[in-house]
């Protein structure tokens, strides 16, 4: 499933890859229009919250020309510590499914199931918890397209809406860009 290649692709599109809590909830039929709209609205909020929390780059040294750079860095650190604490409290009070390797984009998802395996063709909702500090998961309705005997589940999502698709695309692109940047950094040997 995860071959270590630089570019993570699923359904011929750039995909986000991580080890996250994932749960598949079967549904008797596909999501109706109202349910899909509710999922889309909540998914936009989850992705916007994740985007706001996501570290867009670290500053090694404050810019001396910016008078409040050091103060802002201290506030940022304190907010991150607070978010981590909230995440720990949430995790203790709301158990999550086990974390598994997952890759997904706006078209579909693929993960190794830690629970009972769904059947190919089954309708349901993939719940992907992006961060401990976010109470709600992404909820992406779809249909199981493939299940392997070793537990890999592949799902094709129902259309997620333009706003959600754009935010998921940003998420995947940023992760890809960071992986490329890390792979280009020279490795430091032992001192």
The answer as to whether 75 is a domain residue is no
Count the Cβ atoms, other than its own, within 10 Å of residue 21: 19
Domain that holds residue 114: 9-55+97-184
The answer as to whether 132 is a domain residue is yes
The answer as to whether 128 is a domain residue is yes
User: Do residues 168 and 44 lie in contact, with contact meaning Cβ atoms separated by under 8 Å?
Assistant: no
User: What is the tally of structural domains in the chain?
Assistant: 1
The answer as to whether 87 is a domain residue is no
Joined tokens for residue 144: 């199981």
pLDDT tens-digit readout, 64-115 = 567 787 888 788 777 777 777 776 777 677 788 999 999 999 999 999 997 7
pTM, two decimals, is 0.79
The answer as to whether 29 is a domain residue is yes
Q: CATH number for the domain including 31?
A: 2.40.10.220
The answer as to whether 108 is a domain residue is yes
């Amino acid at each position: 499933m995860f071959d270590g290649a630089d570019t993570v692709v699923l359904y011929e599109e750039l995909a986000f890859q991580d080890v996250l809590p994932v749960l598949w909830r079967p549904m008797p039929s596909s999501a109706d229009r109202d349910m899909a709209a509710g999922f889309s609205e909540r998914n936009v909020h989850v992705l916007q919250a994740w985007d706001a929390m996501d570290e867009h780059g670290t500053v090694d040294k404050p810019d001396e020309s910016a008078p409040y750079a050091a103060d802002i860095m201290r506030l940022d650190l304190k907010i991150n510590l607070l978010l981590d604490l909230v995440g720990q409290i949430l995790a203790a009070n709301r158990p999550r499914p086990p974390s598994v390797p997952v890759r997904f984009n706006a078209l579909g998802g693929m993960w190794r199931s830690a629970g009972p395996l769904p059947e190919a063709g089954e309708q349901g909702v993939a719940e992907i918890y992006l961060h401990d500090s976010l109470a709600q998961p992404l909820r992406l309705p779809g249909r199981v397209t493939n299940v392997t005997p070793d537990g890999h589940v592949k799902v094709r999502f129902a259309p997620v809406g333009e706003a959600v698709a754009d935010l998921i695309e940003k998420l995947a692109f940023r992760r890809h860009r960071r992986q490329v940047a890390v792979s280009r950094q020279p490795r430091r040997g032992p001192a």
